[in-house]
Amino acid sequence: MNATDMAVISVKNLSKRYGRIIAASDVTFDIPKGSIFGLLGTNGAGKTTTFKCMLGLARADSGMVLLGGAPLRPKTFEELSYVPETSALYDWMTGRDHLEFTRRAFRRYAAGRARELLELFGLDPMRKAGKLSKGQQSALALTMAFSIRPRMLVLDEPSSGLDPLHQRHVLDLMIDAAAGGATVLFSSHQIGQVERAADHVAILHQGKIVVQGEVDQLKASEKIVEATFDPHVPALDGLDADPNVRRVMRNGRMIRAFVRGNADEVARRINVASPTSIRVLDQNLEDIFVAAVGAQASSAAGREV
Ligand code: ATP
């Protein structure tokens, strides 16, 4: 049995252009049952496009998507919750109306669960959606999404606009859903959240997946060799071309080489040039992101990407 056979969500070679813009290019990933898969990427990287193509809301130019082991069909939506990036609520309807709508549309709707979620997010079900704050609208959309006890969840920046407490609730809901066997795909600009909740991650850049894998394995296999020199970093010929070196950043007297796999050989090469200090560090997800998409994105936005 290969990874695709076991995958509940499987995306193969998905590509989509908007005119001259390549929004998704050969995007391929599999998500096993009960996994939480985090999709990271800079603005415009293609995350929303990937979700829309997966769910038939945009037409892919090529590629294949299997949800619950089958191509998208009306039945898929009985057990799948999608929360889009922008609000899909009706301004004139109350929270209670939206939940009634959800009850009628989904056989798996659980009224008790919906009540718990309203309470968790501190939502007044009698208020019209148009009168809710952006964060409260997100919370209502999430209440609807989780109230149907979905087997698959596709969440496009689910905690955008939520306060830190409610963001934590969303992570807990995803973790709880996955522990109960649901398969979760979500995008986020908050690397810390992805690191906390996701067991698998992919980083999209300009429509292409540049890194993907199990979070723990990626972190264990990616290292940084950091060295300082006096008075300045020497040329270190050939270091940038080393196939195991993803990126080299030089900043005054310091050099940081982002290395895939065994970092000892890279450390040895740098050591030959007699640095004043040298150390090998494990990478966290933010380092992996920076190495994959460039320093520009991270310095512009801190821990948010
Ligand atoms: P963000 O993090 O900013 O939400 P994203 O990773 O979700 O970004 P997408 O919304 O998928 O990115 O956009 C990918 C690219 O496709 C961008 O360059 C965007 O401008 C373009 N794009 C998306 N939708 C359309 C559309 N309907 N028509 C034309 N171009 C589009």
Please name the residue whose Cα sits nearest to atom 31 of ligand 1.
Answer: 18
Kindly state if the Cβ of 49 falls inside 6 Å of ligand 1.
Answer: yes
Domains identified in the chain and CATH numbers? 3-206 (3.40.50.300), 218-304 (3.30.70)
| Three-state secondary structure of 158-174 | CCCCCCHHHHHHHHHHH
Kindly state if the Cβ of 170 falls inside 6 Å of ligand 1.
Answer: no
* pLDDT tens, position by position, 10-31: 999 999 999 999 999 999 999 9
162, 134 Cβ separation under 8 angstroms: no
Looking at residue 247, its pLDDT comes to: 87
Residue 8, exposed/middle/buried by CB under 10 A (0-12, 13-18, 19+)?
Answer: buried
Backbone angles phi, psi at 207, to 5 degrees: 85, -10
| Three-state secondary structure of 119-162 | HHCCCCCCCEHHHCCHHHHHHHHHHHHHHCCCCEEEEECCCCCC
Looking at residue 303, its pLDDT comes to: 34
Looking at residue 221, its pLDDT comes to: 87
| pLDDT beyond 80 at 1 | no
Q: What is the mean pLDDT of residues 209-218?
A: 92
Six token digits for residue 32: 């096993």
- Candidates 40, 42, 49, 160: which one to mutate for ligand 1, based on the most atoms within 8 Å of Cβ? 49
207, 277 Cβ separation under 8 angstroms: no
- Candidates 15, 47, 86: which one to mutate for ligand 1, based on the most atoms within 8 Å of Cβ? 47
**Residue for token digits 């952006």?**
134
pTM of the model: 0.87
CA–CA separation, 207 and 192 (whole Å): 22
Going by their DSSP bridges, the two strands 254-260 and 208-214 should be labelled as unpaired
Q: Name the average pLDDT for the chain.
A: 90
